[in-house]
Amino acid sequence: MGRDRSQADAKRTMARLRERLSQPELEVLLLFSVERLSEREIAQVVRRPERAVHCILQRARRKAREALAANDLREQQ
């Protein structure tokens, strides 16, 4: 039962992130967090300057934290 709940939580989290993040933000965040690529490697994959990837990643992390924090507050109420 715990695994089913974890999978459901993961799906809800991904849905929230898809709502909040732009396509480039989501792509860069997933390449960094899931695929474990460096910013340099991500820049090559998405064909953007490394500095742009850095900025996109920072923005995506901030939005993700805000989305998850807002959801945690709703669940506690």
Average pLDDT, integer, range 4-24? 85
pLDDT at position 4 is: 77
Give the range of the structural domain holding residue 11, as residue numbers without chain letter. Answer: 2-76
The residue that leads in pLDDT, 51 or 6, is 51
* Location of structure tokens 């709940």: 5
CATH classification of the domain holding 47: 1.10.10.10
Q: Cα separation of 49 and 51, whole Å?
A: 5
Residue 11: predicted pLDDT = 84
Instruction: Report the C-alpha gap between 17 and 68 in whole angstroms.
Output: 8
The pTM is what? 0.80
- Rounded CA gap, 50 and 32, in Å? 13
**How many domains is the chain built from?**
1
Residues in the chain: 77
pLDDT computed for residue 30 by the predictor: 94
pLDDT at 7: 81
Could you give the 3-state DSSP secondary structure of residue 31? Answer: helix
Using an 8 Å Cβ cutoff, are 64 and 17 in contact?
A: yes
